[in-house]
Amino acid sequence: MNHRHKLYRIPQQGKLKGVCAGIANYLDIPVRLVRVIVVLSMFFGLFVFTLVAYAALALVLDEMPQSELDNQPPLNASQLLDELSRELRGGEQQLREVERYVTSETFTVRSRFSQL
């Protein structure tokens, strides 16, 4: 594992404050994996702990300097295609879930109740 010397927040790559992106960069793992772990920890009984830890890290960690962001090696074509493929699979899965809900009996019943 290739650890960076310091753990930073990376707001440019993050969804909220860049904490998950910073942890992923530090541990050299995909940021999506860190986000999934955070969400799962919230669902499995660690909601308050996860929120407090995230808020504390958002306040304590410094933003990654632009100079270090610029020094990161660019992704090669294979890595870019792999990332694109992961994004498309995730979007396809979300689309399937929406389609499953819209064609479900629950959706039909709810739409009928809302028309009353």
Average pLDDT across the chain, whole number: 80
**More reliable by pLDDT, 28 or 76:** 28
Q: How confident is the model at residue 3 (pLDDT cuts 50, 70, 90)?
A: very low
What average pLDDT does the segment 80-91 reach? 80
What average pLDDT does the segment 69-87 reach? 71
Handedness of CA 100, 37, 22, 69 (dihedral sign): negative
Ordered by start, the domain boundaries in the chain are: 1-72, 73-116
pLDDT digits (tens, 9 = 90+) for 15-67: 788 888 888 888 888 888 888 888 888 888 788 888 888 888 888 888 887 76
pLDDT score recorded for residue 68: 67
- Is residue 2 scored above 70 in pLDDT? no
pLDDT score recorded for residue 75: 59
Per-position DSSP letters for 80-107, written without gaps between them:
HHHHHHHHHHHHHHHHHHHHHHHTSHHH
